[in-house]
Structure 1
Amino acid sequence: MSLRFAVLTLLDIEPGSGYDLKRRFERSVIHFWSASHQQMYRELHKLHGEGLLDCAEQPQEGRPDKKIYSLTDAGRDTLRTLATAPASTQKIRDPFLLQLFAGHHLPPAQLRAELERHLAEHRALLETYEAQNARFYKRPPEQRQRLWLAHQPLVLGIATEKTWINWAEQLLARLESEEAG
């Protein structure tokens, strides 16, 4: 899978400018696919150059014209091809889990502090996901129906964060119990 796939998918949902695409990416895809703003803009230009995107210029007062990108028929065909290719299974690569694996070398207070820091980050991420989920359900029913599959990574993200938080809270309780005893 590639950034190309993510960009085509986001523009399939709704045409937009590079800035619109960046904002949509940050509210959705970034939680399971990473790319810098520069990479996204390079990909937009590349896709346009390959004839997979149309670009209409929209005049703006006092600013350069805004470029609105949309899929061409060739872009839709490429998206279909990418969507039907088998996706590889992602392996977990988490530095904190590796640190925890060697946790017996860390002072208990340092390990607990690191766990608490990660727990706070996961709680904040869950809060973000739940806010995005609430926005999804405020959409008109026909949009929710059209986008229900695109919504599923968010549903998984919520479940994953809840599981991680539950696991971390249990681990933290055990660490505190070990320290007290």
Structure 2
Amino acid sequence: MSLRYAVLTLLDIEPGSGYDLKRRFERSVSHFWGASHQQMYRELHRLHAEGLLDCAEQAQEGRPDKKVYSLTEHGRAELRQWVLQPAQPQKMRDPFLIQLFAGHHLDNAQARQALERQLEHHRALLRDYREQNERVRGSDPALQQRYWLAHQTLLLGMDLEQTWIDWAEKLLRELDRRQ
């Protein structure tokens, strides 16, 4: 259900095509919500069919027409109503943590290798989030003010990745000590 509102929110910020929306999604909410290209397009079609989105076709030279989606007043009203509803906290779901929970099947070298792979992934995410943060900080101050709360989700993502990195580095040191 949240993909629906992620799409409405991103189109509330700025109209766009499915491609535009997917790129915007990857640069913003993907650090806490995932969706495939197909899921995004299915949701766009569903929202359009429900009257929550308008769709205008723009001619493109040498390519099929581009469909640009924007929120209708009905879509904005539903988004406003949804934002007022309490959200249920979600538990973390991380397959690596299940693997680590079964880590008694690994020797130290295997555990280290698995942990280092995850650590590099989280370091890459943190680098990406920091780059996004620099773009936000360099953007128009009026936009920064308007989307201040949205920016807080990126800052939380940065803090979570840093916490994960600190935990993994500490665990690697402990593996070395136990060897």
Match of 2:143 in 1: 143
Shift of 1:104: 2.4
1:125-144 pair list within 5 angstroms: 125-144=125-144
Shift of 1:105: 2.6
Structure 1 gaps of 5+ residues are: none
1:75-114 pair list within 5 angstroms: 75-114=75-114
Shift of 1:92: 1.3
1:19-168 pair list within 5 angstroms: 19-168=19-168
Structure 2 gaps of 5+ residues are: none
Alpha-carbon distance between aligned partners in 1 of 2:84 and 2:33, rounded to the nearest angstrom:
18
Shift of 1:30: 1.6
User: Counterpart of 1:177 in 2: which secondary structure?
Assistant: helix
Q: 1:32-84: CA deviations, max 9, x gaps?
A: 11111111111111111111111122221122221111110000011012111
TM-score (normalizing by structure 1):
0.95
Alpha-carbon distance between aligned partners in 1 of 2:43 and 2:156, rounded to the nearest angstrom:
27
The one-letter amino acid paired with 2:98 is: L
Q: 1:101-121: CA deviations, max 9, x gaps?
A: 232231111011101110010
Match of 1:7 in 2: 7
Alpha-carbon distance between aligned partners in 2 of 1:21 and 1:175, rounded to the nearest angstrom:
43
120-129 vs 99-108, which deviates more?
Answer: 99-108
The one-letter amino acid paired with 2:50 is: E
In percent, how many aligned pairs have the same letter? 69
Alpha-carbon distance between aligned partners in 1 of 2:161 and 2:153, rounded to the nearest angstrom:
12
Alpha-carbon distance between aligned partners in 2 of 1:83 and 1:52, rounded to the nearest angstrom:
16
